[in-house]
Amino acid sequence: LPVLQNKPEPSNKPLRSPHRSGAQQTELHQTLWKVLGVDLTAIPTIGVDTALVLAGEIGTDLSRFPSSQHFCSWLGLAPPTRISGGHRLAGGGPKIVNRAAQALKQAASNARNDKGFIGASHRARLTRMDTSCAIKATAHQLARLVYNLLTKKQAYVEKGLEEFEARSQDRQVRALLRKARKLGYQLVAA
C-alpha cells in the first residue's frame, strides 16, 4: 500500500463532474475535507461524487470495524472463503448490496486509465483474471486505503508507476530463486 503522510492537506487533483460546476465541485471538496478530516479525492480514481457516497454511507467513525478486513467484509469486497479441502465450493457467497461498495467498484473500473500505482496494479490484475474479479480486487484495494485514511487521519501519497515496476521485478526475482532452489540449481547474479 502507498505511504501515508502525517498532515492532511487537500489535493491539487483537477475535480471534474458532469453534474456540477467548478465552483460547486470546489466547495463540496473543501466541505468533505473538513468533515472527514482527510482528502479522499487524493486517492486516484476517487472523485468528489464517490467521496460523497462514501461519507454518506460510512461516515467518519470507523471504530465499529476493528480492522480493514472487517471493513472490506462489511462492504462485500473481501475475497470469498468458501473453500473445503483446498477446493472452492460451488456458488458465490452472500449477496451484499452496499452503495459504498458500488461507488468503490465504479472508481475501480476507472483505474484502467490511471497512470499511477493503482492503475498499474489494476491493469496487472486484468491480465490474470476476468474483468469483474479485477474490478472487485481493485475496489478492495481502494477500500483498504479509505479505511487507513479515515482511521489514521493521514493524507494519501502516491508512490507512482516506478514503485509498482520495482515491486513487480522483485516479485519475479524471488519466484525465479524459489523455482531454481526447487530444481536444485543456484542462480548467480550477472
pLDDT one digit per residue (tens) for the chain, 190 residues:
454 444 445 555 555 555 556 677 778 878 888 888 888 888 888 888 888 899 989 888 888 999 999 999 899 888 777 777 878 777 666 677 789 999 999 999 988 888 888 888 898 899 989 998 899 999 999 999 999 888 988 877 777 667 777 888 888 889 999 999 999 988 887 7
Q: Are residues 140 and 184 located together in one domain of the fold?
A: no
The pLDDT, as a whole number, for residue 17 is 56
Question: DSSP states of 52-76 as a string?
Answer: HHHHHHH-S--TT-SSHHHHHHHHT
Chain centroid to CA 37: how far? 19
Q: Is residue 186 part of a domain?
A: yes
Q: Are residues 41 and 64 located together in one domain of the fold?
A: yes
The pLDDT, as a whole number, for residue 142 is 93
Q: Is residue 14 part of a domain?
A: no
Global pTM value: 0.73
Q: Are residues 108 and 134 located together in one domain of the fold?
A: yes
Q: Are residues 95 and 175 located together in one domain of the fold?
A: no
Q: Are residues 148 and 178 located together in one domain of the fold?
A: no
Q: Is residue 2 part of a domain?
A: no
Those residues with Cβ within 8 angstroms of residue 28's Cβ, 6 or more apart along the chain or in another chain: 20, 48, 52
Q: Are residues 56 and 106 located together in one domain of the fold?
A: yes
Q: Are residues 97 and 178 located together in one domain of the fold?
A: no
Q: Is residue 7 part of a domain?
A: no
Q: Is residue 136 part of a domain?
A: yes
Q: Is residue 10 part of a domain?
A: no
Q: Are residues 54 and 146 located together in one domain of the fold?
A: yes
Q: Are residues 29 and 50 located together in one domain of the fold?
A: yes
- C-alpha grid cell for residue 58? 460510512
Q: Are residues 136 and 186 located together in one domain of the fold?
A: no
Q: Are residues 70 and 135 located together in one domain of the fold?
A: yes
For residue 121, the tally of other CB atoms under 10 A from its CB is 19
What is the residue range of 177's domain? Answer: 161-190
pLDDT in tens, 25-76: 778 878 888 888 888 888 888 888 888 899 989 888 888 999 999 999 899 8
Those residues with Cβ within 8 angstroms of residue 150's Cβ, 6 or more apart along the chain or in another chain: 36, 37, 38, 58, 60, 62
Q: Are residues 155 and 180 located together in one domain of the fold?
A: no
The three-class DSSP label of residue 40 is helix
Query: Do 155 and 38 meet the contact criterion of CB atoms below 8 Å apart?
Result: yes
Residue tagged 454518506 (cell numbers): 56
Determine the Cα–Cα distance for residues 168 and 172; give it in Å rounded to an integer: 6
The domain tally of the chain equals 2
